[in-house]
Structure 1
Amino acid sequence: MGSPHLLVVTPGIRAYREYLLRSIGPAYRVHLVVTEPPTWERGYLDGWTVVDDLADTGELVRVTTALAERDPVDGVICWDETWIVQAAHMAAALGLPGDPAVIERCRDKHRTRAELDAHQVPQPQSRLVGGGDEAEAVAREIGFPVVLKPRALAGSFGVVKADDPTAVRRFVGFTAGSGRMAPELPVHERNILVEEYADGPEISVDSVVHRGEVIPLCIARKEVGFAPYFEETGHVVDPADPLWHDATLREVIERTHSALGFSSGVTHTELRLTARGPKVIEVNARIGGGLIPYLNVLGGGADVGLAAAAVACGRPPEVRVAPRRQVAAIRFYYPPHDNSRIAEIAFDRAPLPAAIVEHGPLAQPGEVKSPPPQGLMDGRIAYAIALGLDADECRTALDAAGRALRVDTA
C-alpha cells in the first residue's frame, strides 16, 4: 500500500510552518492547494493545484472532488486559521474527517463561548457588543478589568485589557478596527466581545482527536508582553511540566471538546490557570502557531503534525516520544520603534550560549516593522530557540540571544 494522499490547504508562512511539511512529507503524498505556484515547498510535495481564490468554497470543493476522482484522497488538513472552514468543507465533500459546523463553532469565538457556557465549561464571562457605549456598560456589569477582543480573528490581533471605563472607550476602536489585519475572515455586525479578565499564567494545549478520544500532545506556557496588549513573545515546552498530571486540566480539556462536538481533528486550546482553576480562553481548530509543536519535537516530544495528518486521514495517531527529553523554548524579538525600515538583522555569534540551537530573522531588508500595538505578530523581526535542562536555563540563554541581536534600521 502506498503512502496516504493528503491535501494541504496553503502552506502558511515558511518561517513558521515549513517544519510541518518537512515532517509530513516523507510519510504522506502531499498535494498542496495554493493561489500561486509553490517555490520552497516543492521538495516536500507530490503535487499541487493552483486556485483563484481560497475563499471560494465552491471552487475548492470542485477542485477536491476532481482530484479525488483521478487519485483518491485520504485526508484534508489546514493549519492556517484563515482557511480552516474551507478545508473542512473540502473534507466533508469526500466523506473524510472534518465537520464544517464544528470548525465554524471554533472559528467564531462568540459561538464557542455560547457552547461552552451551555455545557458549564469553566471560562471567563463574555458578552457580545456592537459598539463603545454598549461595551462600557457591559464592562461595568462584568467588573474591571475586562478584555476586549474581536469575534473572529486570531493571533491576539485586537485583544486588549481595559482597566477602567476610560480604557474601554480608548481601546474599543482598536478592537473594532482590527479586522483590517485579516480581511479574508468573516465580519459580523456585532463584532466585539467584552470578557472578564482571567488572572493567572496562560498556557496552550495541542491535542488530536480521533473518534471522540482527546489526546493531548503538547503543553506550552506562554510568555505574553506589551501590556495592555496580549502579544505572545515566547513559549516554553517542558516535558516534566506538572500540568501533565493535573486531572482538573485534563477534565476541562475533554469537556471543552465534548461541548463543541469536536470528535475528529486537531486543536490548539488556550487557557488561563486562575486561582479557581483552569479557564478556557479559546479553541483553535488547527495546529498551534508560534512554532510551539516544533519545540515539542525538538525537546523529544510527540510530533503534532504527524498526529494531525493521521487523524485527518481517519487513522489513529502514532504517538512517539524520546526516552530522554529536554525543555525547549522560543523567544520573539521586535524592532526598536514604530515604522522601522529594516536594513540588516544579525545575531553576534560569539556571545550566543550553547543552549541556543536555532535562530534567525523574521523580517527581510527593506521591510517596515513596528512593535505592538501597531505591529503584533507581524511585527516580529527575529527569533531564537533554546534547549536546556529547565525553563530557567532556556530563558537565560534567550535573554543572551536578545542582547546579541543587532538590528540596523534605515
Structure 2
Amino acid sequence: MVRTEGTDDRPRLLLVASGMQPYREYLLASIATRYRVHLFHTAEPTWERPYLDDWTVLDSTVDGLAMATAARGLHAATPFQGVLCWDEGRIHATAYIAEELGCRNGDPMVVWRLRDKAQTRQALALGGVRQPQSVPVSTVAEALLAADTIGYPVILKPRGLGASLGVVRVDDPAALRRFFPFTRDTTAPDPVLYSTDAPVLVEQCVTGEEISVDAVVTDGRVVPLFVARKVVGYPPYAEEVGHVVDAADPLLHDEDFRAVLQRTHEVLGFRDGCTHTEYMFGDDGPQLIEVNGRLGGDMIPYLGMLATGLDPGLIAAAASCGVTPDTMPIRRRVAGVAFRYVDADDTVIEDVTVDRAQLPDAVDLAVTLVRPGQMVSPPPRGTVWGRIAYVTVVADTPGECRAALDAAEKAVHWTGRPAGTADGETREGH
C-alpha cells in the first residue's frame, strides 16, 4: 500500500474501481493532485499506484452492502469527505457506501432509478418529461404486442445495461423475432441484478440527432458542463463510434433545454454528483433516452476538458464532497474522438500501428487498445471491448474537427487473421 508521508491536508476521497486505463487514467491523475484517493478494487492496483494514497482489495465491487461495511472502519479511523465512482455497473453499489458514511449521492433507491431504465421511464412519465413510449416485456409474444401498439420501427433495449449493449432497431415483426434473443441475452462483464420478469424494453424509435450532456449537480441545481454530438454506426445496432464536443455548443445556453435538463433530474430525485444524460433531438425538440448517474464514458469528459478547459475529474470529486465546483469554461475549442474496429468477427490481432506522418496537426492522442494475439470482433459482438484504437483531435470549428478525425482514422493500420487459421493467413485494414 502507498501512504503519503508527513502532513497532508487534502480531502480524502474513496474511489470505487478505476476502469480501463486508456479511458479513465486522466481522471484519476487529475483528482490525485488535490485529493488523497483510497481505491476499492478487486485486484492489486498497477497503473493506478502513482495516484493513490491507499487501497483495499475486495472480493467484489458490485456488493454495496459489503463495501459499506469495509468502508465503515476506514472512515472511523480517517474520515472520507466523498465517495466517487464512474463505472456504470458499480454506481448503485457505491451509493450504499455513500449512504453508510453520510456522504453525497448516498441514496441507493435514486441511483437504482437511473440504472433500471424501466423505473427511469416510469418516473419521467409521471413527471411529464418527454420521452419515447416504452413497454417492459419478458417474451417475444409480449414484445410483438408492444411493438404493434407503439408502431414500427421500435428499439429493443436491455433494461439495466449501458454502453448501448444489446440495443437494436427492428423494423417489422420478423426482425423483432430474430433480434429479441440478442437483446434479452446480452450481458455485461459484471453481474447486473435487475428485474428478470421483464428484462427487455420495447421502445418507440425516435429519430434525429443524438446528444449527451455531462452535468454536475449540487444541492439539486443542475449545471451542464459540455455537450457531445454522437456519431453512431453499425446499424441496426447503436454502436457509438465517435463524439464531437464544441465548447460553444448552443444547447449549453438554451434556456428551454436547460429547463428540461433540470426538470429531468428533479423528477428522478438526483441531487448531488455528476450525470451523463442522453437526448434525441428531432424537429419537435428533445426526447430523453436515458440518464446515467456518473461521468460519461468513451473519452467524452476528456473531450470536454480539451474543448472547455474544465476538469471533469476535479468537478466530480468536488461534487462528491458537497463542494460547489467552478464551472466557468476557460477555452472555446472543438474536440472529437473516433474509434477503430476490425472488419470481421474473431480476428486475431497481429499488429496495430499508427503512421505518425499521416496524422494531421490537430491530433491530440492516437491510442492502441489491443495487443498482438488478442481476438476482437466489430459490433455487435465487439462493442467497447472490440475497439482496437482511438484518436482524439482538437480544432477551432466542428468542420475542422471532423475533417481531422477522418484523416487521422486513415493513419491507423492493423493486420490480423481469422481465429483458428495458421500464421501467414493475414488480412489488413485501416
When normalised by structure 1's length, the TM-score is 0.97
Who is 1:60 aligned against?
67
Structure 2: give runs of 5+ residues left out of the alignment. Answer: 1-7, 418-430
* Structure 1 segments (4+ residues) deviating >4 Å: none
The question of whether the paired residues in 2 share the 8 Å contact of 1:218 and 1:302 is answered with no
1:149 to 148, 157, 160: 157
2:98 to 91, 98, 103: 91
The question of whether the paired residues in 2 share the 8 Å contact of 1:105 and 1:260 is answered with yes
1:166-202 C-alpha deviation (Å, 9 max, x unpaired): 11111101000102x3341114221000000111000
Matches within 5 A, 1:114-133: 114-133=122-141
Who is 2:44 aligned against?
37
2:414 to 404, 407, 410: 407
1:332-380 C-alpha deviation (Å, 9 max, x unpaired): 0001211111111111111111011111111111111111112112111
1:274-300 C-alpha deviation (Å, 9 max, x unpaired): 111101000000110001010111123
Deviation, 1:320, is: 4.0
Deviation, 1:6, is: 0.3
Deviation, 1:245, is: 2.4
CA–CA distance in structure 2, aligned partners of residues 95 and 76 of structure 1: 10
Alignment partner of 1:206 is 2:206: no
The question of whether the paired residues in 2 share the 8 Å contact of 1:153 and 1:182 is answered with no
CA–CA distance in structure 2, aligned partners of residues 313 and 351 of structure 1: 44
The question of whether the paired residues in 2 share the 8 Å contact of 1:218 and 1:301 is answered with no
The question of whether the paired residues in 2 share the 8 Å contact of 1:128 and 1:194 is answered with yes
Alignment partner of 1:12 is 2:19: yes
Matches within 5 A, 1:324-335: 324-335=331-342
1:234 to 242, 257, 260: 242
The question of whether the paired residues in 1 share the 8 Å contact of 2:12 and 2:82 is answered with yes
Who is 1:298 aligned against?
306
Deviation, 1:138, is: 0.7
CA–CA distance in structure 2, aligned partners of residues 399 and 265 of structure 1: 35
Alignment partner of 1:381 is 2:375: no
CA–CA distance in structure 2, aligned partners of residues 304 and 352 of structure 1: 27
When the two structures are aligned, how many residues end up with a matched partner? 408
User: Kindly, what percent of the aligned residue pairs are identical?
Assistant: 48
2:370 to 346, 355, 363: 363
Deviation, 1:273, is: 0.3
The question of whether the paired residues in 1 share the 8 Å contact of 2:232 and 2:240 is answered with yes
What SS is found at the alignment partner of 1:233? Answer: strand
CA–CA distance in structure 2, aligned partners of residues 306 and 215 of structure 1: 15
What SS is found at the alignment partner of 1:248? Answer: helix
Question: CA 1:175 to 1:283, structure 2 compared with 1: closer, same or farther past 3 Å?
Answer: same
Structure 1: give runs of 5+ residues left out of the alignment. Answer: none
The question of whether the paired residues in 1 share the 8 Å contact of 2:226 and 2:252 is answered with no
What SS is found at the alignment partner of 1:297? Answer: helix
| Worse-matched range after superposition: 48-57 or 189-198 | 48-57
Counterpart of 1:351, as a letter, is: Q
Who is 1:101 aligned against?
109
Counterpart of 2:82, as a letter, is: G
When normalised by structure 2's length, the TM-score is 0.93
Who is 2:30 aligned against?
23
| Worse-matched range after superposition: 151-160 or 248-257 | 248-257
Who is 1:218 aligned against?
226
CA–CA distance in structure 1, aligned partners of residues 255 and 327 of structure 2: 21
CA–CA distance in structure 1, aligned partners of residues 309 and 121 of structure 2: 31
| CA RMSD between the two structures | 1.1
